[in-house]
């Protein structure tokens, strides 16, 4: 999760987030090279007392600084387009979870099983918490339990106003729109707790509807869902 000393992206938990991190580093390296080149040229101009006799008209340099940025943009655009298609690719989901945004909490529905299971997820008030290991404004009373190494389809909607279901470490940010059902797919690489928050300003308590995913192994998930349906 993000901490006060973390200036980079969160550690990836899904293959899509890994690709997003690689693209971030790829683009950042190109920007760094451009910044160094432009800074070098500007500094050299400041300290150069001479004037080039072809400075006012140079066809060659104009061709270079027209073609070179186009080539650089191609090197950025091709990985970006590939990543966009990967994000929109529809996988064969094993489990479908529906989440509904409310002011100001989330409702989750597991509908793939013989007995559908549904629960509300509210933020835990920090002054009522008895556990020092809980995170302020991030922990909830009912976590979203999901199996790792399983293709999961998430259906997102809202009951009142616009919300946004976001888990940064998964690379997932999907709008919850009233009257519309949005869909995304993801896969959890490893077990753990992964935190997120509503990323669409939805009212007075917008900052108080966090999201917590608990990733567990498949056998433990089956036991959990069986216990919930009893």
Strand, helix or coil at 161? coil
From residue 24, alpha-carbon distances to 74, 141, 158 in Å are: 15, 34, 31
Q: What are the pLDDT digits (tens) for 176-221?
A: 999 999 998 888 998 989 999 999 898 898 989 999 999 999 888 8
What is the CA angle 211-119-228, rounded to 5? Answer: 115
According to DSSP, residue 49 is labeled: -
- What are the extents of the domains in the chain? 15-49+56-88, 95-229
CATH class, domain 95-229, is mainly beta
pTM: 0.79
Helical spans, DSSP H, in 89-188: none
Distances (CA, A) of 111 to 119, 180, 211: 12, 18, 20
- pLDDT value at position 229? 64
The pLDDT assigned to 56 comes to 67
Mean pLDDT for the chain?
86
């Amino acid at each position: 999760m993000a901490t006060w000393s973390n200036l980079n992206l969160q550690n990836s938990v899904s293959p899509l987030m890994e690709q997003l991190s690689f693209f971030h580093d790829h683009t950042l390296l190109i920007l760094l090279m451009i910044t160094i080149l432009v800074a070098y040229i500007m500094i050299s101009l400041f300290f150069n007392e001479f004037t080039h006799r072809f400075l006012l008209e140079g066809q060659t340099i104009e061709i270079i600084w027209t073609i070179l940025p186009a080539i650089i943009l191609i090197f950025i655009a091709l990985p970006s387009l590939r990543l966009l298609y990967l994000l929109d690719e529809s996988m064969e989901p094993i489990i479908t979870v529906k989440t509904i945004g409310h002011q100001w909490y989330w409702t989750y529905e597991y509908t793939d099983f013989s007995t559908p299971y549904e629960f509300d997820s509210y933020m835990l008030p920090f002054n009522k918490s008895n556990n020092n290991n809980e995170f302020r404004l991030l922990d909830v009373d009912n976590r979203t339990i999901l199996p790792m190494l399983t293709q999961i389809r998430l259906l997102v909607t809202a009951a009142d106003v616009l919300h946004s279901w976001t888990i940064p470490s998964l690379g997932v940010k999907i709008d919850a729109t009233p009257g519309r059902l949005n869909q995304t797919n993801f896969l959890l690489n490893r077990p753990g707790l992964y935190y997120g928050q509503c990323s669409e300003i939805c009212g007075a308590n917008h900052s108080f509807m966090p999201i917590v995913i608990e990733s567990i192994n498949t056998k433990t998930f089956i036991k959990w869902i069986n216990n919930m349906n009893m």
